Amino acid sequence: MASVSYHIANLLEKMTSSDKDFRFMATNDLMAELQKDSIKLDDESERKVVKMLLKLLEDKNGEVQNLAVKCLGPLVNKVKEFQVETIVDTLCTNMISDKEQLRDISSIGLKTVISELPPAPTLLATSICKKITGRLTAAIAKQEDVSVQLEALDILGDLLSRFGGLLINFHPSIQHALLPQLSSARLAVRKRSIIALGYLVMSCNNSLFIDLIEFLLTELSKNSSTSTTRTYIQCIGAISRQAGHRVGEHLDKIIPLIVKFCRIEDDELREYCIQAFESFVRRCPKEISGYINSIVDICLEYICYDPNYNYDEEDDDEGMEANGDDDDEGESDDEYSDDDDMSWKVRRASAKCLDAIISTRHEMLMDFYRTVSPAIIARFKEREENVKADIFHAYISLLRQTRPTVSADPDAMEQGEGPVNLLQVQIPSIVRAVHKQLREKSIKTRQGCFSLLTELIQVLPGALADHISVLIPGIIFSLGDKNSSSNMKIDTLAFLNCLLSNHQPFVFHPHVPIIVKPIVSAVGDQFYKITSEALLVTQQLVKVIRPLDVVCSFDFTPYVQALYQSTLFRLRAADIDQEVKERAIACMGQIISNLGDSLQSELSTCLPIFLERLRNEITRLTTVKSLTLIAASPLKIDLRPVLGEAIPILASFLRKNHRALKLSTLTCLDVLVRNYGASLTGAMMTDIVKEAMISDIMKELPPLINETDLHISQLTMNLLTSLSQIDRASMNHIQTGILPQIMELIRSPLLQGGALNSMLEFFQALVATATPRLGFKELLEMMTKPIYEPQQFSSSPSHSSLALHKQAFYSISRCFAVLTVGQISGAGQAIVEKLIYDVKKSGQDSIKLFGLLTLGEIGKKSRY
């Protein structure tokens, strides 16, 4: 404590120096000390520090003043309540000073102190709030100095937003001081008064709230001047946003007045009226219901309100082909300018209000498509960029409201009058309205178009199939435009990816020649985010030009090398962004999977790179997935040159503590075994499959078969099934490690679903191998040993009469039944008779339960 006091005393001494640098550094050091949690000040140090900082607020140097203000924040939580009150008193006094600089710095100080007070209601916070509030309301009511009023209103707003509930006794005086300010000559005073009233209504009592609403309604009824009417409507909107639940019961009086004011020829007044409607829609959803149709009519009328501009209607009726005239039209739009024209604010407010109605009134979706949708589509031609963005957003909201209908009702397309059907009818109008905008100079407009079209595709996949030829020129323009920003290109590529993945491949085939070049160019872009997005598009484009799931006559060969070489360049690069690395690997995997038969000479270059990426910890997961894709390709790509090295690496991944990697690796190995094991020659079988595939893989499998992760267990047994089918001899080695794990899993109460089905398939495949000591009877004996010899097993609860958990009986009986049905003509007959005997004669519940379950399963699987 003594050392801290000594250090603080030294700093305080330096703060009195005539050198401003000394004062600055000392204040800076003090702030560093105050920010330490461990600092403790004695009473004398507290007093001296507070006195010095308040003195420095009047320092001649502005930087010293700013630092002194910043010190007040941490200081408030380090000194006693009395000192905080001293600080607040001094700041309040300074705030009404004649010196403008001192006034400003003291206002900042008060805001700092308020922000640092603990949010929980404490004695300190209550005391400080009450002390500040009285001074502030007095300063506001005096109306002597506007700048003092503005600062006081600002601080009062902060105070009410954080501690409104502590100032209940002051609420009447605060409201009394604020209401006259709504008619102040200064608009800034009105605005801050509205903000403060908005915070006040969050915590004031109902009587005071009713008084406020009555005052506003009375003043609106008088309509003494348009200027004050604007302010009162703004105030009602602000109150609604902060306390909508309280405004609802007064809407019957408020709405007719605001509707009336919408008809007055004043653009700002109309804007505020429509903004008030928007706040009612969002904050009073129940009470506003009866007025929704009227509000929609008003918004539809004013979203078209543009008295100072003549839209050329012939533009809408032109052909769908984009041409050079669009650029000229764009230039004339840019040249038009009228600083006095405020009508755009009315249109913007109307668009936002429609957005609010659409977003909150899902039950009116059908009506929106009949009335609102055509009107919004017609306004896509809006000349003001900001208004157009809000119009696009309103339509996107309409599409988003439609999306749940699509997912919830798969037959929506068949409904004659469903919203999806109505949307489909309007698609030509949407495309006609949007396609010209795609060649606008405005980047924001083009981004809005792509966002809207993306949402449309997600709602109705395949919806733009008939309009691809109209959209492609706009896409090419945005990708090739030198003035396009990086974000514009990224958004264009993202839309193109969405377009390619949600439409049939054949609709793009006529346009592939002009699509490939800009995509390849984007893959080579210097900005990694563009490259990353372009690789995703390339991956999708490969599936389009050569779909493997349908018969296709399109000649893809002219484009193979361009796509391959651009991707190979990115695949080879080691010093690129991680995201680009991963997407280059995935893209190349898709290229080889779909086009590998045209790249036979290139495989010797490309496949070794996959091996390198497989050895890299950062890229191995993506590479495993790509190898799986290649191995599963119906083109039967020759992977033999890399299998010898790849399979031991893949096998080593099975012991990694990385679940996603294990899952992907098991899937990859299973595909490799099924597609490449049996096709190899005898010599290759010995060298690769038996030495690498079998030995390296099999020794990693036992730890993967357990109830801890049934998904991994399921994939492991799938792999074992595949191994047993291509190399029966491999099953000779499972008795020591793998089979005991499987037999333990079959007794687990958690075994079910896919894991159980995989086990059934494995047992069937194992019996088919005719492996010594693992035949039909031996396996049945292993399975049923816990039931017939329960003394060796204790997995069931101690109070139960059953040898195993009940779920284990179901699992064992299903496995038993599958094997028995396969032998039904021979040994199976005897097994069934034994089960029937056990059910009739056995005195053990476990054996009876097992017999009944197994007979039932056998009955389901055969006609015995």
Query: Cα torsion for 339, 341, 343, 347, to the nearest 10°?
Result: -30
Q: Is 326 helix (H, G, I), strand (E, B) or coil?
A: helix
**Mean pLDDT for all residues in the chain:** 85
Judged against a pLDDT cut of 80, whether residue 5 lies above it is answered with: no
Mean pLDDT computed over 168-179 = 90
Judged against a pLDDT cut of 90, whether residue 34 lies above it is answered with: no
Give the span between the Cα atoms of 133 and 127, in whole angstroms. 10
Judged against a pLDDT cut of 70, whether residue 679 lies above it is answered with: no
**Sequential DSSP letters for 590-619:** HHHHHHGGG-GGGHHHHHHHHHHHHHSTTT
Give exposure, 126-160, as e/b (b: 16+ Cβ within 10 Å).
ebbbeebbebbbebbbeeeeeebbbbbbbbbbbbb
Instruction: For residue 445, report the phi and psi dihedrals to the nearest 5 degrees.
Output: -65, -45
In the structure, what pLDDT confidence band is assigned to residue 209 with cuts at 50, 70 and 90?
very high
pLDDT on residue 414 = 45
User: At 763, which amino acid appears?
Assistant: F
Judged against a pLDDT cut of 90, whether residue 670 lies above it is answered with: yes
Chain centroid to CA 217: how far?
A: 43
Interval 543-593: pLDDT, tens: 999 998 888 888 999 999 999 999 999 999 887 889 999 999 999 999 999
Ranking 323-332, 357-366, 592-601, 722-731 by mean pLDDT, the lowest is 323-332
Neighbours of 323 (CB within 10 A): 12
Give the span between the Cα atoms of 296 and 275, in whole angstroms. 13
Dig out the tokens for 656 from the structure: 């990694």
Helix or strand (DSSP H, E) at 226: helix 226-247
**Sequential DSSP letters for 417-463:** T-HHHHHHHHHHHHHHHHHTGGG-S-HHHHHHHHHHHHHHHHHSTTT
Give the span between the Cα atoms of 850 and 245, in whole angstroms. 63
Interval 281-301: pLDDT, tens: 999 999 999 999 999 999 999
Neighbours of 754 (CB within 10 A): 14
Dig out the tokens for 286 from the structure: 């129940």
Judged against a pLDDT cut of 70, whether residue 172 lies above it is answered with: yes
Judged against a pLDDT cut of 80, whether residue 409 lies above it is answered with: no
Interval 79-97: pLDDT, tens: 888 888 888 888 888 887 7
Question: Which is higher by pLDDT, 315 or 161?
Answer: 161
pLDDT on residue 681 = 37
Mean pLDDT computed over 666-691 = 68
User: At 326, which amino acid appears?
Assistant: D
Find where tokens 């109306």 sit.
Answer: 143
pLDDT on residue 702 = 92
Confidence (pTM): 0.82
Answer whether 592's CB lies under 8 Å from 603's CB: yes
Ranking 263-277, 662-676, 806-820 by mean pLDDT, the lowest is 806-820
Quick one: which of 249, 320, 324, 322 has its CA closest to 280? Answer: 249
- Per the document, the length of the chain is 864
Give the span between the Cα atoms of 701 and 125, in whole angstroms. 65
Question: Which is higher by pLDDT, 510 or 833?
Answer: 510
HEC secondary structure over 508-528: CHHHHHHHHHHHHHHHCCCCH
Interval 132-142: pLDDT, tens: 888 888 888 87
Judged against a pLDDT cut of 70, whether residue 318 lies above it is answered with: no
The highest-confidence range among 346-355, 548-557, 670-679, by mean pLDDT, is 346-355
Question: Which is higher by pLDDT, 305 or 334?
Answer: 305
Dig out the tokens for 624 from the structure: 């495993």
Give the span between the Cα atoms of 281 and 705, in whole angstroms. 57
pLDDT on residue 315 = 52
Interval 449-486: pLDDT, tens: 999 999 999 999 999 999 999 999 999 999 988 888 89
Judged against a pLDDT cut of 90, whether residue 798 lies above it is answered with: no
